[in-house]
Amino acid sequence: KDLLEEEPKSLAVEVFYKTPQEVESAVNAIYPPIRTQMAEYVATLECHSDFLYGRGSWENISLYQGFNDTNTGRVVPFWNGFYTAIRNANLVIANSPDGAAYDSYKAEAKFLRAFAYFQLVRNWGAVPLRTELNMEQRDLAKSSVDDIYAFIEKDLLTAEMGLKPVATAAGRPTSGSAKTLLADVYLQMAKYPEAAAKANEVIQSNKYSLIQVTSKANIQDNIFGPTVNNSPEEVFYFKFSRLTNEGNYLLFIVNHPSTGLFGFPGAYAVHGNKTNPIFVNWNANDLRKSLYDNINFGLGANTLVTSKFVDKLATTNRTAGNDNTVYRYADVLLIYAEAAARAENNVSPAALEALNKVKRRAYGYNPAVPSVVDYTAADYATTPFLDLIMKERVYEFAFEGKRWLELKRTGKASELVLANKGKTILPKHLLWPIPLGEIDYNDALDPVTDQNPGY
């Protein structure tokens, strides 16, 4: 009988999560399912934006008529990745022992679980809410959007308490990361005072600052460069390295071989257009504008290719060392500026200063010192100020996957996509189709009523 006992040279769920080292490695396992999807996820979101365009098989997204089969399939790995991360987080939360040694691990798991749900709820709306309590239940109905936000808020409040101000390694969340994510969530929930307060806590911690730049090369090397690590601007990044298959795939998606900026030929699948009003109206003195090269690779003379992400030493499509900059300090400043202005219905000096810091840096000035490019309070009422922040955000965060979700959050998607791209958004394009792997095999979902409209 003993002969038939299986003794694999591996570990099993039943005997794991017993020591801090084991729990840490289980926490580490929450990252890869998200990390490996981030490049395509960001690129997909950018194709939706009012500034950038998808080429080839991505073009369908930029037409705003709902997803064709290819792109319906494209978002499936995002869904699967977020939920695999949620499962791995739930395993940590459910199985790790009690005690102080494990609190920060559970906090880290909750931070990442909240991050995953925040992506799910914004792109798919109501989704099944898998927690450590129902993680083994096969058929699970959708939870309402409100319930999901409430759950995210709860996770992040716990994470904020459990996480340390300084992480053991760059790439792990800090209490600052949790506050920033929470501020963004509050902004989304239209809880503006809470959003402003959380963002302000991060600013007041004085742990972060913007990196001063004076050239295009400074931006490429010092902010987004392949070897940048633990920069003062880093609030929460998914980290990549030049190790085989551990690099950032986004560089492959966006680069063009003729630029020589990426050590491997790119697919230039997401690009800009120099006739887009956002680009046309962009001040030439803004160093960020220089990150776009005009290359005609067959899509016409006005095509723009980004040079924001550069790694000449990458040897394959997955060996670029550049990080995925999920939350930079510039984001904290702009979340604060917007949340404060919305909460106070007024442009406070602090809000103005937050916006100005981002703008100054982009024009090559010391972010901490007032400059000639500063906006002044007298010139702006609240609404124009909010427009100004939106403009600053598209310049600052292009190719970082923020614009489309912001357009949806502010309710300006239809207006700005029409204005900047001349395209009309079909309502079904606002939510992604729930994968058939969920609709067909989760018996608590009705294939007709639970699928997102239009699919």
Partner 1 sequence: KTFGQKINLVRNNVTLEAALMEIQKQTGYNFFYSQELLKNAKPFDISVSNSSLKEVLAICFKGQPLTYILNKKTIVVKPADLKNIVQDITITGKVLDHQGLPLEGVSVKLKDANKETVTNQNGDYTISVPDGDAKLVFSFLGFESQEVTVGTQTSININLKTALSALEEVVVIGYGTVKKKDLTGSVSQVKSKEINAMPNANVLQALSGRAAGVQVRQGSGAPGSSSTVRIRGGNSILGSNEPLYVIDGFPVNGSPTQINNTDIESVEVLKDASATAIYGSRGANGVVLITTKKGKAGKTAVSFETSYGTQSLIKKLDLMNAKEYAIFYNEQRTNSNLTPFFSQAEIDGFGEGFDWQDFVFQKAPIRTTALNVNGGNEKTQFSVSGSAFGQNGIVKGSDYDRYSLVTSLNHKISDKFSLSFSSTLSKLSTERKDSGGGNRGNSMISAAVSAPPTLTPFNDDGSYRVLSTAYPFIATDIRNPINFINEQNSKIKANVVLANASINYNITPALQLKIAGGIENRDERTDTYTTTKFFASAGSANIFAGQFTSFLNENTLSYQKEFNKHSLNAVLGFTYQDFLNTGVSAGGTGFLSDNFESYDLGAAANPNVPGSSYIKSVLLSYLGRVNYSYDNKYLATVSLRRDGSSRYSEGSKWGYFPSAALAWRVSNEEFLKGNELISDLKLRTSFGVTGSQAINPYSTLNQLSAGRTIFNDAPYTTFAPGTVLASDLKWETTEQLDFGIDIGLLKNRFLLTADYYIKNTRDLLSNVILPSSLGYTSTIQNVGQIKNTGLELGLESNILKGAFNWDLNANIAFNRNKVIKLSKGDELLRDRVNLVVINDVTSILTEGKPVGTFWGYLEEGYDATGKIIFKDLDGDGTISQNDKTYIGNANPDFIYGLNSTMTFKNFELNLFFQGLQGNDIFNASSITNTLDYGFGLNMTQDVFDNRWTPQNAANAKYPKVSNATAVRVSDRLIEDGSYLRLKNVMLAYNLPKSILKTNWISKLTLYASGQNLFTSTNYSWWDPETNFRIDYHSYPNAKSITFGLRAGF
Q: How far is the CB of 6 from partner 1 (least distance, A)?
A: 5
Closest CA to 257 of 322, 307, 222, 318: 307
User: Which residues, numbered 319-348, are part of the site for partner 1 (CB under 8 A)?
Assistant: 319, 321
Contact pick of 70, 144, 302, 366 for partner 1 (by CB under 8 A): 70
- Does residue 448 interact with partner 1 by CB under 8 A? no
Among 140, 163, 291, 330, binds partner 1 (CB under 8 A): 140
Give the footprint of partner 1 on residues 15-54 (CB under 8 A): 16, 22, 25-26, 28-32, 35
| Residues between 248 and 307 with contacts to partner 1, criterion CB under 8 A | 257, 263-265, 267, 297-298
What are the Cα distances from residue 439, in Å, to 75, 128, 236, 303, 446? 14, 11, 33, 39, 7
Q: Where are the beta strands (DSSP E) in 198-328?
A: 234-238, 270-273, 292-294, 303-306, 324-328
Per CB under 8 A, 316 contacts partner 1: yes
Find the part of the chain contacting partner 1 (CB under 8 A) among 39-47, 102-110, 359-367, 441-449.
441-449
From 101-109, 167-175, 272-280, 388-396, span contacting partner 1 (CB under 8 A): 167-175
- Dihedral (Cα; 135, 137, 141, 142), 10-degree rounding: 10
Task: State in angstroms the smallest separation of the CB of 150 from partner 1.
Answer: 18
Return the number of the residue (246 or 374) whose C-beta is nearest partner 1.
Answer: 246
> Measured from the CB atom, is 297 or 369 closer to partner 1?
297
Binding flag, residue 315, partner 1 (CB under 8 A): yes
Q: The tokens of 379 are what?
A: 């010139």
Contact between 423 and 63 under an 8 Å Cβ cutoff? The reply is: yes
Q: Which stretch binds partner 1 (CB under 8 A): 71-79, 174-182, 191-199, 397-405?
A: 71-79
> Is the separation of the CB atoms in 151 and 129 below 8 Å?
yes
Q: Given the structure tokens 């926490």, which residue do they identify?
A: 27
Site mask for partner 1 (CB under 8 A), range 97-136, x = bound:
------------------------------xx-x----xx
What pairs with residue 328 in β-bridges? 234
Q: Which two tokens stand for residue 53?
A: 């365009």
Contact 349, 280 (CB under 8 A): no
What distance in Å separates the CA atoms of residue 453 and residue 419, rounded to the nearest whole number? 25
Q: With left for phi above 0 and alpha for psi between -120 and 50, is residue 244 left, alpha or beta?
A: beta
Q: Which is nearer to partner 1, 80 or 410 (CB)?
A: 80
Q: Choose the stretch contacting partner 1; rule: CB under 8 A; options: 224-232, 328-336, 366-374, 409-417.
A: 224-232
